[in-house]
Structure 1
Amino acid sequence: MSQQPVAVRPAGAEPVRVVVVDDQELFRRGLIMLLGVEPDIEVVGEAGDGQDAVELVKNVVPDVVLLDVRMPKRTGLEACIEIKDLVPAARIIMLTVSDEEADLYEAVKNGASGYLLKDSSIDEVAQAVRVVAEGQSLISPSMAVKLLDEFKEMSRTDKEQVPTPRLTDRELEVLRLVAKGLNNREVAKELFISENTVKNHVRNILEKLQLHSRMEAVMYAVREKLLDLP
């Protein structure tokens, strides 16, 4: 997994509200305890399976959900799809023991903001929560490549789509770099613009396309042939 982008919460900002979902109670409680000492993060609920997770998220509407891939009653993938349907603004980080699991690609395609390995340090977990709360993704370049390959295989199924919203040349440049797995800081460096300007471009792209995440925007753009990718 590539180095995580850095996010710093503004002074005085509301804490990031987090729900932790994992069927291993010891791991779940340990994660809650460690996140609890972070001044800018507030754990607002926990669940031990995908079914309870969906109900909990619907009730507390958190900013970020840490969601285990493998769970009883309802898998992480199934829960991810339903959570994004019920609470589109919630950012989902999939918790996994391996970044080779096929479910990870399905989860990201269905709205997850990325994944986090279970052997990550607490600093990495806390930083991941901050990063996705800011609207960025935790997706390695290798995952981005695999996702793009799959997106390019998709064909339009709806023949009566509304006209594609027009993105500016700069927005397309930003989207191309996001599609390669670059974070905001890396995009800013590549285009010689500020990180705040990149954030504004990403926000405008999502608003124009009426989408909720960066990867959804990339998926849309590839399907609509807005990007000239190799």
Structure 2
Amino acid sequence: MRVVLVDDHPVYRDGLSMLLESMDGVDVVATAADGEEAIAVVDGADADVVVMDVQMPRLDGIAATREVVSRHPHLAVVVLTMSEDDETVFAAMRAGARGYLVKGASQHEILTAIRAVDRGELVFGAAIARRVAEFFAAGPATAPAAEVFPQLTAREREILDLLAAGRSNPQIAQALFLSPKTVRNNVSNIFAKLQVADRAEAIVRARDAGLGRA
């Protein structure tokens, strides 16, 4: 089984690569440090499974998963991340991930998940699986409402809302207690994910969707 490993922390990425390589029948054919690099690497890797982190620079794992699955429908993506909030879990599912594990999962859990998704199964860590089961058992009446711009993270939507309200980057940084650099990086990610050329176009898209009116 050919695996691509995507994580922005080199120590963790290298350690996980060594762990996976020690498993019988697993070959780590490529690694990537962010979502954009992951897309490029997967395009030429002839892989079976992608193990994907979520919080990464340039392009997060949710957006990268969506693009990878769109380009390579046969590929199975397992999300392996520190994030275990419902928003991230269901965003990963909507993006096309077949598995979701929280970092700290055992070697056995990781190997089981990789092999299961390669067979076409869906796999979630124990705590995540309970919430997923409750979500589907609840039925459509209690399912969460569709998000505006689901490709954005919660932080990016928050920044876009302030952007649409006419706030400048320094004002957004002050309001959200963020550094100006963090705001600039998030704004760049927003432009890329919404496929807009500039601030004005992003504001139009956001206001059309009801943001920036509070």
Question: TM-score when scaled to structure 2?
Answer: 0.60
In structure 2, stretches of 5+ residues that fail to align are 145-214
Determine whether 1:146 maps to 2:131.
Answer: no
- SS for the counterpart of 2:5 is strand
What is aligned with 1:83? 68
Deviation at 1:119, TM superposition (A): 0.5
The answer (yes or no) to whether the contact 2:8–2:32 under 8 Å persists in 1 is yes
What pairs up with 1:133-212 in 2 under 5 angstroms?
Answer: 133-139=118-124, 140-146=129-135
Deviation at 1:45, TM superposition (A): 0.4
Distance 2:12 2:18 in 1: 10
The answer (yes or no) to whether the contact 2:48–2:76 under 8 Å persists in 1 is yes
Distance change in 2, residues 1:65/1:78 (3 Å): same
Bigger share in helix: 2
What is aligned with 1:188? none
Distance 1:73 1:112 in 2: 20
Distance 1:20 1:88 in 2: 18
CA deviations on 1:89-137 (whole Å, 9 max, x unpaired) are 1100111113225122111122100211111112221121111111111
In structure 1, stretches of 5+ residues that fail to align are 1-15, 155-230
- SS for the counterpart of 2:83 is coil
Determine whether 1:42 maps to 2:27.
Answer: yes
Distance change in 2, residues 1:132/1:112 (3 Å): same
What pairs up with 1:65-76 in 2 under 5 angstroms?
Answer: 65-76=50-61
The answer (yes or no) to whether the contact 1:61–1:87 under 8 Å persists in 2 is no
- Number of equivalences: 140
CA RMSD, aligned part only? 2.1
- The partner residue of 2:49 within 64, 76, 79 is 64
Q: Of the two, which has the highest radius of gyration?
A: 2
- SS for the counterpart of 1:46 is strand
Question: TM-score when scaled to structure 1?
Answer: 0.56
What is aligned with 1:19? 4
Deviation at 1:29, TM superposition (A): 0.3
